[in-house]
Every structure is written in C-alpha cells, then in structure tokens.
Amino acid sequence: MTAALGQYLQSGSFWYVLAFVCCAAGALIPGLLVVTSRNILHSALWLLPCLASVAGLFLLLGAELLAAIQILVYCGGIVVLVLFAVMLTHGLGHADVRVVNQQLLWGFIGAAGLAGIVLHMLSRQMWPVGSSLAPGDVTGRLAEALLSPYVLAFEVSSIVLLVAMVGAIVIARAEPE
Amino acid sequence: MTSAPFIPIQSYLVVSVLLFAIGLVGVFTRRNAIAVLLGIELMLNAANINFVAFWRYSGGAQMEGQVFTVVIITVAAAEAAIALAIILNVYRRFRTVNVDQINLMKG
C-alpha cells in the first residue's frame, strides 16, 4: 500500500493531477466571481487569477510560448485596459444598485442547458487517449508554422492589430467642442 | 514535457465547457457593458483551452492548434481595445454603460 503510494508519487502523475486540479479550480472559481461580483472593479480584478490559471493549463499541456503570451497579453494588457475603462466610466468602487438585467433566470437556464448538452455529448464520446508528444522544440516548431505555412494569417493578424490600435485611438478621442 | 499525458482529454474539455458556460452567463445577465466584455473574454479563453488540448492529445506534430490560439489571442486583444473605446464613447454620450438603458434604436 505504502509502496504503491510511493511509486505513484514518484511517477509524477500525482503532481500533474494536483497541478491540473489547482489550475482548473483557479480558472473556474475566479471565473464565477467575475460574472457574479456586484462591483465591476472586483470583476475585472478576479479576471487576473482566472486568466493566469488558464496560462497554467497551457503549461500543463506543454505549450510554453502560449502560456507566456497569455500572461503578457491578457494579464498584462487586457486586464489593465479593462481597469482603465472601469475607472473612466464609473469612478472607483461605485457599485451599481442592480447589476443584472431582467433575463437573469433565462440566462442561467440557457447557459446550464448548453453546458449540460455538451457534457452529455462528451461523456458519450470515446476520445483516443494520449499519444506522447512528438519530439522536438515546440516553440521552434510553432515559429516555423507561423512563418512558413501560415505566414498570411500571421501578417493579416498584425495588420488587424495595427488597424484596431488606430481605430481605438480615433474612436476614444474626445470630440472637439 | 515529452512524456505521455497523465489524464484523459475529457478533464480539459470539461474545464473548457464550464468556463464557456460561466462566460455565457456573464454575457446574458450583466447590465454593465464592460462586464459583458469580460464574459466574452472568458468564452474566448475556453475556446483556447480546447484548441491547445486537442493539439496536445493529437500528438503535437501538427501545429495548427497553437497557431489558431495565437490568432485568437491577437483578435481578442484588438477586440478588447475597440470595444472599450466604444464603451468610453457611449459613456461620454449617454452617461451610462448599462446595456439596457442604451436603447436609442429600439422602435
């Protein structure tokens, strides 16, 4: 019994499962708080651990570069942007009287129904489980994929970013009186 | 990390489904336009988890899953910038960001 447990701990499987459970809980519980917090500032701040845990899931899946991008773009960029917008529109910690609209019940029913249907389909489907990861440098292969077969998508997305940046500046600029 | 994955792919898919449903609740039920945007971000992240999980569990030789995720993160950043600029403009004009009070085009 003890030997089996020791071997289990040695194999690394236990730690992988533990890390997965921590990341999953770290994504779902703050995610729930994002949509249920009465204060929009708290919602935006709860987004931070949620997105960092998604980066942890990427790491567990072996996508190191995506985890770094997730931290840089989401935790560093988008959350700060959202916090700026919250403070420019609401004032600090200004909780609304009513934070949900009149479709609260139907929203919950719709989302729970969708989750139920998809989970039911997942439980019926047998997925081929886990071949081991192809050898080689994942980040290097991602770079090669981005710059040889998918170079068009790469360049188009950079143009999208440029246009969005210019557009955001133009839209958010104060109107001349 | 070149060893075989220790858990079935369903664990990642279940996390992804639940995160998507949480984001959907946020989009459906919140009044604040910024909170609706946060719900959309959660849903995009759920899709990203799915893409990376299927990339990993199909052996990781084909890089399409990660390429898709990079493009989605790029578009999500652009979308957040544009949406927040629009929300700022709406606030300047209507003095509110509650989506049920901005009904100028409602007949």
**Average pLDDT score over residue span A168-176:** 80
Domain A11-95: CATH class, spelled out: mainly alpha
Q: What is the pLDDT of residue B1?
A: 45
The distance in angstroms from the start CA to the end CA of chain A is 78
**Average pLDDT score over residue span A50-66:** 91
- What CA–CA distance (Å, rounded) separates A134 from B91? 51
Contacting residues for A33 by C-beta, under 8 A, at least 6 apart: A42, A43, A46
Contact of B49 with B65, CB cutoff 8 Å: no
Residue (of A30, A129, A87) closest to B6 by Cα position:
A129
Mutation target to probe the B interface, by most B beta carbons within 10 A, among A29, A35, A129 is A35
Domain limits, chain B: 9-94
Check whether A99 has a pLDDT greater than 80: no
Tell me which residue in B13, B29, B66 faces A122 most closely, judged by beta carbons.
B13
Supply the CATH classification number for the domain B9-94. 1.10.287.3510
| Its pTM surpasses 0.80 | yes
Counting every residue, how long is chain A? 177
- What CA–CA distance (Å, rounded) separates A108 from A33? 15
Tell me which residue in B18, B60, B71 faces A153 most closely, judged by beta carbons.
B71
As for the ipTM of the complex, it is: 0.88
- What would the pLDDT profile of A131-147 be if each residue is shown by its tens digit? 666 666 888 888 888 99
Contact B88 A85 (CB under 8 A): yes
- What CA–CA distance (Å, rounded) separates A164 from B79? 8
- What would the pLDDT profile of B52-67 be if each residue is shown by its tens digit? 998 888 877 788 889 9
